[in-house]
Amino acid sequence: MRFIHTSDWHLGRIFHGTHLTDDQAYILEDFIKLVGYSKPDVVLIAGDVYDRAAPPAEAVNLLDDVLSRILLDCRVQVVLIAGNHDSPERVGFGARLLSRQGLHIAGVLDKNITPVEIYDADGPVYIYPLPYADPPVVREKFMAKDIRDHNEAMAFIINQLLSGIPSGARMVLVGHAFVAGGEVSESERPLSIEGSGLVDPEHFFAFHYSALGHLHRPQYAGRENIRYSGSLMKYSFSEAGHRKSVTLAEMDRFGKTTVEEVYLTPRRDVRCLEGLLNDILAGPRSGESRDDYLKVTLTDSGAILDAMSKLRSVYPNVLHIERPFLAADLELRGPGGDHRGLSEVSLFSSFIEQVTGTTLSAEQLRVFSDTVENLYRQEREANI
């Protein structure tokens, strides 16, 4: 059986004030083409299809268009679960009706998780859609009052699943969780405010493949058949070094699964630049785009007037500027001696040293001294 594993689309995402829906639509065009030419038996979407519980209309329309084209044009079934960013009720609306068309949605956690059966030449593969659910929801749903955290909740649910699986069956789990040992990014919302949101990878050992969502870097979790596909796009500057992909998997008659990372090309990359302003204004190097989303760290030590405007004249999508020089943790202290007896140059030099931790050079002192002298001269001439 062939399937595509993807997750964490976060449709409707706003990145540093910029709406990403058009960028998401662009990369999803590539995804639909991949579905069309790779001809999988099923597409698995492991949660966080939306970025928030009440998504904007354009995000809902985009999802509707993408799923319709996969189901109707490509004639490929889809298994989709709700993640921690999604509203289970909104995502799961109409699930029973849609399943007849090949769209299998698990929004709200069901006490009796029914597998989706996908057939290939070797018989059925049982795909278990396990939507994200907080421990209190699991306690209430299963009347299991002893469940205290995410790990215990996952262990309980998996045990319930395994009790009903036919002997020798090929099994795939679609889930949304933070498996211990996984590498996190800044854009992932914590699953637990108090206590641990981690789950042990051993809970997934019984499945031939576990298609996971939540962590945004493509990675394995404990074993090579327990995998995060990673997010559709880069959603924080901490992900600038990631190479985003979806997972194309092949399962043989014995349940052994091999995977291939298929890279999708975004309309704009997310990058970090660091250096002096004038060097950055020289423009992108070969292979880089002016239109990428950028965080710029300026290493200049002097004052810069309207740095954002200057940078956006070359890179129109600069979203964030950092000035480490201005954020130095310095101890403020008064000028040496009685400040009333100090010259303007000495006062200014003392101020600069307090704020920046560095002393003015001879050239800087000369420029400041000339500026003060010019101001005094203009004042004298105005009073003549």
- Buried b or exposed e, range 11-46, using 16+ CB within 10 angstroms: bbbebeeeebbebbbbbbeebbebbeebebbbbbbb
Q: HEC profile for 342-377?
A: CCHHHHHHHHHHHHHCCCCCHHHHHHHHHHHHHHHH
Q: How far apart are CA 306 and CA 287, in angstroms?
A: 28
Is a pLDDT exceeding 50 seen at residue 195?
A: no
Are the beta carbons of 135 and 148 closer than 8 angstroms?
yes
Are the beta carbons of 192 and 177 closer than 8 angstroms?
no
CB-based contacts of 319: which residues, under 8 Å, 6+ apart? 15, 16, 17, 18, 293, 294, 295
- The predicted pLDDT at position 362 comes to 84
Does residue 185 or residue 121 have the better pLDDT?
121
- Per the listing, tokens 């710029």 go with 296
- The predicted pLDDT at position 366 comes to 82
Mean pLDDT of the chain: 88
- Three-state SS at 119: strand
Is a pLDDT exceeding 60 seen at residue 111?
A: yes
- The predicted pLDDT at position 331 comes to 54
CB-based contacts of 147: which residues, under 8 Å, 6+ apart? 135, 138, 139, 153, 156
Decide: residue 288, CB within 10 A, 0-12 exposed, 13-18 middle, 19+ buried: middle
Token pair for 135: 């421990």
Are the beta carbons of 187 and 13 closer than 8 angstroms?
no
- The predicted pLDDT at position 194 comes to 44
Residue pLDDT, tens place only, 244-260:
999 999 999 999 999 99
- The predicted pLDDT at position 19 comes to 96
DSSP state for residue 69 in the 8-state scheme: I
Query: Residue 297: phi, psi to the nearest 5?
Result: -105, 110
Residue pLDDT, tens place only, 19-78:
999 999 999 999 999 999 999 999 999 999 999 999 999 999 999 999 999 999 999 999
Residue pLDDT, tens place only, 210-237:
999 999 999 999 889 999 999 999 999 9
The number of CA neighbours under 13 Å toward the Cβ of 272 is 11
- The predicted pLDDT at position 193 comes to 46
Beta bridge partners of 338: none
- The predicted pLDDT at position 64 comes to 96
Decide: residue 79, CB within 10 A, 0-12 exposed, 13-18 middle, 19+ buried: buried
Beta strands in the chain (DSSP E): 2-6, 14-15, 18-19, 42-46, 77-81, 103-106, 116-120, 123-130, 170-176, 178-179, 198-199, 209-213, 219-221, 223-228, 245-251, 257-263, 270-275, 293-298, 318-322
Are the beta carbons of 128 and 81 closer than 8 angstroms?
no
Are the beta carbons of 82 and 131 closer than 8 angstroms?
yes
Q: How far apart are CA 201 and CA 382, in angstroms?
A: 80
Does residue 370 or residue 296 have the better pLDDT?
296
Give the count of beta carbons closer than 10 Å to the beta carbon of residue 266.
18
Is a pLDDT exceeding 70 seen at residue 190?
A: no
- The predicted pLDDT at position 84 comes to 92
Q: Which of 31-35, 126-130, 281-285 shows the lowest per-residue confidence on average (mean pLDDT)?
A: 281-285
Is a pLDDT exceeding 60 seen at residue 332?
A: no
Nearest by Cα to 91 from 69, 108, 72, 66 = 108
Q: How confident is the model at residue 278 (pLDDT cuts 50, 70, 90)?
A: very high
- The predicted pLDDT at position 180 comes to 86
Per-residue pLDDT, averaged over 87-104, amounts to 91
DSSP state for residue 235 in the 8-state scheme: -
Is a pLDDT exceeding 80 seen at residue 185?
A: no
Is a pLDDT exceeding 80 seen at residue 377?
A: no
| pTM of the model as a whole | 0.83
- The predicted pLDDT at position 327 comes to 65
- The predicted pLDDT at position 56 comes to 95
Q: How far apart are CA 34 and CA 38, in angstroms?
A: 6
- The predicted pLDDT at position 188 comes to 67
Are the beta carbons of 330 and 356 closer than 8 angstroms?
yes
Are the beta carbons of 39 and 262 closer than 8 angstroms?
no
- The predicted pLDDT at position 112 comes to 86
